[in-house]
Amino acid sequence: MSQTGLAPRKAAVDMLNAVLEEGKLLSEVPTAKLSVPEAARAQRLAVETLRWMGRADRLLGRYLRKMPPVPVMNILRLGVYEICQEGEASHGVVNSAVELVHKGKKTGHLKGLVNATLRKVATDGPGLWPTLAVPELPKWLRKPLIADYTKPVIKDMEQVFMNGAPLDLTPKDGNAEALAVRLGGEVLSSGSVRLQSPGQVSKLPGFVEGDWWVQDAAAAMPVKLLAPKEGESVLDMCAAPGGKTMQMAAAGAKVTALDQSERRMQRVAENLKRTGLSANLVVGDALEHIGVGYDAILLDAPCTATGTIRRHPDLPYAKDGSDFPYLFELQERMIDHALSLLNPGGRLVFCTCSLLPDEGEIQIEDAMKRHGDLQILAPDAPWIEETWKSGEGGLRLRPDYWGEIGGMDGFYMAHLSRS
């Protein structure tokens, strides 16, 4: 690539530095002042470099005696990804990398190293690249997940993480077959429509008209499990960005969407406006919410988001597990408060986009001990596969399920009722 690609490359490296040096998620990194196409390219380069980082580091280990400073290493990783995975012309990649190192503070003296290393990568890398191992999760996360799921299962998940995620859509009218025909997609057994190569989402037919919204297939299942009925009073307890709110509104329920972030709730409002659906939007702390009794509540609780790594490969590098105990305790409090807001005989679906049993099976087992009148409603519907069912009565979804067509987010969900 020519030097015209320097700006998005620099932005991508800045993003990598923020994740790997400062522990920030990509969503927390300020957007560089770039054109829309350049910003999109920078974001994609950062995401994909993180996705393939384990393989890039293995390749670079053949040529480096010791690891250079992180900002220089990130420039090298980006170069390796572009040459070996994207197939970019090596001349432009190497020149841009050298220029980035030259302009960096305290890194200019390493431009010779970067130049020599990437030229070796350009010669040997494309042939070696496919033979290198699938990138593994960082040890702090991989070790406990192996204990919970076994090593072969985690290796299958890592394969899915490396491959990335297709685009799943939820049709507003529920007619997945018609939407799939319209967009050239595949109807999943759960009723979502999957597109493998969608292109720019906002230019797809039906986006402006609000005929559908983007929502991972697994993320759409908690509302299907809750099965809200027309006219029911329903609370979406942690609503942003609004996919589940729209599902329940489309089903005819009277939805109250609650979220503590005014900025994120604005996104819910925008999504509702685009789709022509309505809900009562409330900005506030879920633990302080006092409302009339609800017939049903959807609690998609704040969690570690470890089930979303195939879409957010920055997560295992930005986190280290230190905040996990706080999240576990918060989920417990939110379950208890949600139950207090239910009408007699009301229903609650608790869910998290997590792979950790502490945020799923264990939370429900503990809730059952705290509340003697609580029962789990057995998950029984045509879209539910037997392998998803967990011992305590919930559903455990894993990224490697449907792995041959792109997998799904890791999720846990349980349907509860108070007598």
* Second-level CATH architecture of 3-131: Orthogonal Bundle (1.10)
Q: What is the pLDDT of residues 106-154, one digit of tens each?
A: 888 999 999 999 999 999 999 999 999 999 999 999 999 999 999 999 9
Question: pLDDT tens for residues 248-293?
Answer: 999 999 999 999 999 999 999 999 999 999 999 999 999 999 988 8
C-alpha triplet 17, 91, 110: angle, nearest 5°:
45
Q: What confidence score (pLDDT) does residue 31 get? A: 78
Domain boundaries, the chain: 3-131, 217-418
329: pLDDT strictly greater than 90: yes
Catalytic entry in 84, 238, 303, 353:
353
* Per-residue model confidence (pLDDT) at position 1: 37
Kindly tell me if the per-residue pLDDT of 3 is higher than 60: no
For the residues 160-182, what does the mean pLDDT come to? 97
Neighbours of 151 (CB within 10 A): 11
Tally of CA atoms within 13 A in the half-sphere of 356 that contains its CB: 19
Residue 42: CB atoms within 10 Å: 23
Is 84 one of the annotated active-site residues of the chain?
A: no
pLDDT for the residue 32: 77
pTM of the shown model:
0.93
Model pLDDT, residue 395: 98
What is the spatial distance between Cα 404 and Cα 141, in angstroms, rounded to a whole number?
24
Query: Is the pLDDT score of 298 beyond 80?
Result: yes
Regarding the domain delimited by 217-418, which CATH topology (the fold level of the hierarchy) does it fall under?
A: Rossmann fold (3.40.50)
Average pLDDT over residues 334-349: 96
Q: How far apart are the first and last CA of the chain?
A: 65
Instruction: Look at residue 4 in the predicted model and tell me its pLDDT.
Output: 60
Q: Is 258 left (phi over 0), alpha (psi -120 to 50) or beta?
A: beta
